[in-house]
Amino acid sequence: MKSETRTTELKWFKKDFPLLGGTNRGKPLVYLDSASSAQKPQQVIDAISYFYGHDYANIHRGIYELSERATNVYEQAREAAARFINASSNEIIFTSGTTGAINLVAQSFGRSQLQAGDEIIVTEMEHHSNIVPWYLLKEQMGIVLKVVPVLDDGSLDMLAYASLFSSRTKLVAVTHVSNVIGTINPIRDMIMLAHSNDVPVLVDGAQAVPHMNVDVADLDCDFYTFSSHKLYGPTGIGVLYAKSHWLSQMPPYQGGGGMIETVSFDEIIYVNAPHKFEAGTPDIAGAVGLLAAIQYISNIGMQNIEKHEQSLLEYAEEKIHELGFVQIIGTTHPKAGVISFVMNDVHAHDIGTILDAEGIAIRAGHHCAMPLMQRFNVPATVRASFGIYNDFSDVDALIEALKLVKRLFPDVAA
C-alpha cells in the first residue's frame, strides 16, 4: 500500500518541533530514534526559557515571591505527573530519570527490605537500567536474580514466569514495553500473579508512558518509573511513582537540604515523602519542561497518539516485509512503535552509517539490552522508533535507504 493513500491526523504536529526542520548530513532530517530520546516541541522549549527569564529561583525555602512562584510551578509539575498516570501527588518523586528512579528503589527499598538469599525476578528483555541496579544488590547483599526467558517471537514465557516464584521472591522488576523490540508485556497479569504471591512489582515505564495511557491505580503496581526526555520533555528529570505504603517504610536514598525537618549531631528527623527522597536543589527547570510536555501531549490526546503510532508501525512492518532481505526481531503483538531488524552479513553499524548518510537518524547497536541480543544471537540490531512527529514519508525514506544498503551489499541473502 502506498503511503500517499494513507492519512494521519497528527502529521501537522511535526511543525511544533523546530529541530525536525533541519538537516542530517546535508539532507532533510528523518528522525527515527525517539525510543532513545524524543525531540522537544517549541512549547516545551519556550516554557523552560520563560522560566529562566522570568520566574527562576530556588524552591521551598525562600519566603520571597520569586521563590514562591518557582515552588508553585515545581509542585504543579508533580500534580500534573500524578494526574497523568492516575496517582496521588504525594506518591510522585522527581528523580534524574528512569535510571535514577530504579536505583532509588534498589538502594532504598532493596537495602531495607531484602537480605542475602532473597530473590528478584527480572526478564531477559530488560534495559541495563533495570538489570545493573539489581546486580549491584547481588554484589552488595547476596540477593539472587531469576530471569524470565523471552520466546522466539519476542514475548515473555509466562509459564516460566509463574514457575520462578518461591518463598524467597521479594520483588518483580519488569519493563512495560521493550525498548528494543517494542513488545508490550501483559503487565496487569504479571502484577496480579506477583501479588498473589505477596510480591511487590516495579515497572519500568520509560517506553510505555510516551505511547499509551498508563493508569497505575488500575495496574496496581507498587512502583512505576518514567523519564521526561522520552516524553518530549527535557533531559535530567524523571518520575518514580511508589505506593504510600512503601514510601513510609523506605529510608532516604540520599541526604542533604530539602529532605529534613531538623538536624543535629545527635538526631536527624526527615520530612515525609515525597520530599524525603529529593535531597538538594532539584532540576526545577526540568520540572517546568516536564509540565509543559505533559500539557502538550495531553492536549493531543493519548488515544490519538497511540492510534497514529500504531498506524505507522503497521505500515513500516508491511513495507519491511515486502523488501524480502530484512529480518524483524520480535514479531509478537501488541507492540509499541518500535522495530528492530537485521540484514544477513551486514553489521547493524554499517546499516546505520549508510542510513545516516541519507539523512536518517536511527539507532544501531545493542540498545543497552545485551542479554536480549544474546537471546536472539545477534551482535546488534538497527532500531527504528516512532514519535508523534513521524509520518509515512519518514517510513518511505527508511525503506528507500534500506534498498540502497542492499545495492551496496548485493550478496546479502534474503
pLDDT digits (tens, 9 = 90+) for 125-173: 999 999 999 999 999 999 999 999 999 999 999 999 999 999 999 999 9
Question: Average pLDDT for residues 52-81, to the nearest whole number?
Answer: 96
Q: Are 261 and 270 in contact (CB under 8 A)?
A: yes
DSSP code, position 272: P
Q: What values do phi and psi take at 356, rounded to 5? A: -60, -40
Q: Which amino acid is at 397?
A: A
Question: Average pLDDT for residues 209-230, to the nearest whole number?
Answer: 98
Q: What values do phi and psi take at 214, rounded to 5? A: -120, 125
CATH of 3-32+301-408, one of 3.40.50.280, 3.30.465.10, 3.90.1150.10, 3.40.50.300: 3.90.1150.10
β-strand pairing of 360-365 with 327-329 = unpaired
- List, in sequence order, every beta strand (DSSP E) within 90-212: 92-95, 119-123, 144-148, 169-175, 201-204
β-strand pairing of 260-263 with 238-242 = unpaired
What does pLDDT average to over the chain? 95
Position 413 confidence tier, pLDDT thresholds 50, 70, 90:
low
Q: Is the dihedral of CA 157, 161, 163, 164 positive or negative?
A: positive
Amino acid 85: pLDDT: 98
More confident residue, 11 or 289: 289
Residue 193: count of CB within 10 angstroms of its CB: 17
| 368 a catalytic residue | yes
Amino acid 227: pLDDT: 98
Q: What percent of the chain has pLDDT over 90?
A: 94
Residue 250: count of CB within 10 angstroms of its CB: 20
Fold entry, domain 45-299: Aspartate Aminotransferase; domain 2 (3.40.640)
Q: Rounded to an integer, what distance in angstroms lies between the CA atom of residue 183 and that of residue 170?
A: 25
Ramachandran sector of residue 110 (left: φ over 0; alpha: ψ -120 to 50; beta: rest)? alpha
Catalytic: which of 144, 260, 328, 368? 368
Position 414 confidence tier, pLDDT thresholds 50, 70, 90:
low
Q: Rounded to an integer, what distance in angstroms lies between the CA atom of residue 396 and that of residue 2?
A: 9
Question: Average pLDDT for residues 336-349, to the nearest whole number?
Answer: 96
Amino acid 13: pLDDT: 82
pLDDT one-digit tens code per residue, 106-127: 999 999 999 999 999 999 999 9
Question: Average pLDDT for residues 388-414, to the nearest whole number?
Answer: 91
DSSP code, position 258: T
Q: Rounded to an integer, what distance in angstroms lies between the CA atom of residue 330 and that of residue 362?
A: 18
Q: Rounded to an integer, what distance in angstroms lies between the CA atom of residue 13 and that of residue 4?
A: 18
Q: Give the residue among 89, 70, 69 at the shortest CA–CA distance from 81.
A: 89
Q: Are 330 and 183 in contact (CB under 8 A)?
A: yes
Amino acid 352: pLDDT: 97
pTM for the predicted model, two decimal places = 0.95
Position 61 confidence tier, pLDDT thresholds 50, 70, 90:
confident
Going from N- to C-terminal start, the domains of the chain cover 3-32+301-408, 45-299
Amino acid 62: pLDDT: 83
Q: Is the dihedral of CA 204, 208, 210, 212 positive or negative?
A: negative
Counting DSSP H helices and E strands in the chain, the numbers are 14, 16
Amino acid 5: pLDDT: 43
Ramachandran sector of residue 182 (left: φ over 0; alpha: ψ -120 to 50; beta: rest)? left
Q: Is the dihedral of CA 232, 237, 240, 241 positive or negative?
A: negative
pLDDT one-digit tens code per residue, 257-304: 999 999 999 999 999 999 999 999 999 999 999 999 999 999 999 999
First-to-last C-alpha distance (Å) of the chain = 22
pLDDT one-digit tens code per residue, 373-397: 999 999 999 999 999 999 999 999 9
Position 1 confidence tier, pLDDT thresholds 50, 70, 90:
very low
Q: Are 102 and 225 in contact (CB under 8 A)?
A: yes
How far does CA 293 lie from the centroid of its chain? 15
Q: Rounded to an integer, what distance in angstroms lies between the CA atom of residue 57 and that of residue 71?
A: 8
Position 242 confidence tier, pLDDT thresholds 50, 70, 90:
very high
Amino acid 411: pLDDT: 77
